[in-house]
Structure 1
Amino acid sequence: MSNVRYYTVDPPAALADYVRSFWAFEMDLPEEQPYVYRSMADACTEMVFHYKGRFDNADGPQLKPEPLSMMHAQTQRYRRFITKGSFGIFGVYLYPFAVPRLLSVSSAELTDQMPDLHTLLGAEGAELEERMLHALDNRQRMVILSNYLLKRLQQQKEAPAVIRTAIKTAIQANGLINIPSFTEQFYLSSRQFERRFKEQSGFTLKTYCRILRFHSALNEYGNKAISLTDLAYQCGYYDQSHFINDFKQFSGYTPKEYFRGNAEGAEYREVE
């Protein structure tokens, strides 16, 4: 799709422990043409900057415009947003344990929330937004945001290594883990593990793995070679009903509706 540009960039080595990637999403549309984007449940957190165009809440009453910069925390909800005309978004995809270190609050306090950077960071957030929105291009935005994150991370206490490892291991396994044996390998009681895991990830381990399995299914968008039955099994679902229920909860679609090829906001998945 020539009017859609989406790409990711790996973080510099100094940020790799806390940042999964930087990304940009741009689309050229006729003036006033509406575009609806649906964000899905996600086990990680994003810091987002709308440098061109502005998205508003597509569901329910619109009491005020959505902010131009925000922290889109890890969530088990889907949301719908609408804009008109061309737009450009730049973001950084963070491991959830970056939140406590960046903001000095537990990840659980921000779960399912989308606060603006002015509220979270005060004058510092307003200044960062100003610099990001008026940067020359996305390369400069990545430099600005990388420098900001490096400075901020150096000022805060590091996340517990054992929980960082647990979260990254669960992500790498796409949530396909045996929970009792998984917690045992970190030499904490199950109660200690769950408390610390939720502080750093925002969810219980069980919920976290459900969202990760859902995302491993999402990543097969456009793969015509796999049936929905095989996809459910591949992603760790033992029957279709659990697969359908999780998918519907986290995306608002049934798997059949989503993989049909015209899901809201999925255009970036079609960019090679």
Structure 2
Amino acid sequence: MYVTFPPPAPLAPYVRMFWAFEYQVPDGQPYVYRSLADGCAEMVFHYKSRFTELDGTCDQAAVLHAQTSRYRRFLTHGSFGIFGAYLYPSALPQLFGFSAGSFSNEMPELSAVCGAEGRWLEERVMTAKYHHQRVEILSGFLLRQLEKRKPAETAAHHAIKTIIKAQGMVNVTELAADLCLSARQFERNFKAYAGFPAKTYARIVRFQRAAAQYGRIEENLTALAYECGYYDQSHFIHDFKEFSGYHPRRYFSGRPEGIEYRD
């Protein structure tokens, strides 16, 4: 079961959605989830069972899964329940005051990021009985963060929104010029709020658009590559393998790991 919940209106510029994913794993069978490269960060709470990263470094109950340019694989041996908030990339500096670039490809415990407030939040979300309660608890916490920081819109926010709206199909040099910034100013500000250089971020957004086409198993890869903004099939294959670990033909025609939430 995968369900989503909209954020309260004041949080809509920072939170794309709240979500919950529960899955019944057959007794005695392992379940592997593969997270793909993503330009957005997530606050993730494992309220039923936990996952261990296959390199053995992660089994925390509540984490901040920052924006990432690589895929990761996680393992559990039991039925699980996960709740999370899917954040826009600039939410980390806007709501928490951190440079997004300092967290890229990291997954720290929530308590390490938010201290005592993070521990309190973890306990409340983990022990809630219903998802709507989790939404209320986490929304309340984020609204208090918003009130404390009162973030202002910047040129970097506009650039990020432009890239997301264009699904990665933008000319970064032209975008910087439109914002009346030098290339160096643009890249410094963009990385602070998005976590990656603008060209890398646009590649990740373009890849995400392609990965979201899962289910179109009869699709011609060349046609799909052009539709998603790639110049040719070789660039499509290169980016897809880098950001997912899969050749796109295998991803679209097989059953990739941890894809049940898309079904």
Distance in 2 (alpha carbons) for counterparts of 1:126 and 1:32:
32
Structure 2 unaligned blocks of 5 or more:
none
Equivalent-residue separation in structure 2 for 1:239 and 1:99 (angstroms): 34
Rounded Cα–Cα distance in structure 2 between residues aligned with 1:244 and 1:225:
17
Superposition deviation, residue 225 in structure 1: 5.3
SS of residue paired to 1:89: strand
Residue 34 of structure 1: how far off its partner (Å)? 1.0
**Is 1:18 the counterpart of 2:11 in the alignment?**
no
- Contact 1:100 / 1:159 at 8 angstroms: preserved in 2? no
2:144 maps to 151
Q: Residue 123 of structure 1: CA displacement?
A: 1.4
Aligned match of 2:231? 238
Say if 2:101 and 2:192, in contact at 8 Å, map to a contact too: yes
- Give the alignment of 1:123-142 within 5 angstroms: 123-142=116-135
Aligned to 2:69: 76
Which amino acid letter does the alignment assign opposite residue 33 of structure 1? Answer: Q
- In structure 1, what is the Cα distance between the partners aligned to 2:68 and 2:187? 18
Per the alignment, residue 38 of structure 1 pairs with: 34
Give me the TM-score of the superposition, normalised by structure 1. 0.93
Alignment of 1:109-128 (within 5 A): 109-128=102-121
How far residue 180 of structure 1 moved from its aligned partner, in angstroms, is 1.7
RMSD: 1.3
* Structure 2 Cα separation of the partners of residues 152 and 33 of structure 1: 41
1:7 pairs with one of 3, 13, 34:
3
Counterpart CA distance in 2 for 1:98 and 1:166 is 14
Structure 1 residue identity aligned to 2:15:
V
Deviates most, 256-265 or 178-187: 178-187
Q: C-alpha distance in 2, partners of 1:152/1:187?
A: 31
Give the Cα–Cα distance (whole angstroms) in 2 for the partners of residues 96 and 224 of structure 1.
Answer: 30
Query: What is aligned with 1:67?
Result: 60
Give the one of 95, 104, 108 matched to 2:97: 104
The whole-number CA distance in structure 2 between the counterparts of 1:244 and 1:107 is 28
Please tell me whether the aligned partners of residues 217 and 252 of structure 2 are also in contact (alpha carbons under 8 angstroms): no
**How far did 1:32 drift?**
3.7
Mark the runs of 5 or more structure 1 residues left unpaired by the alignment. Answer: none
Displacement of 1:106 in angstroms is 0.3
Name the structure 1 match of 2:187.
194
Q: Do the aligned partners of 2:20 and 2:131 also contact (CA within 8 Å) in 1?
A: yes
- % identity of equivalent residues: 54
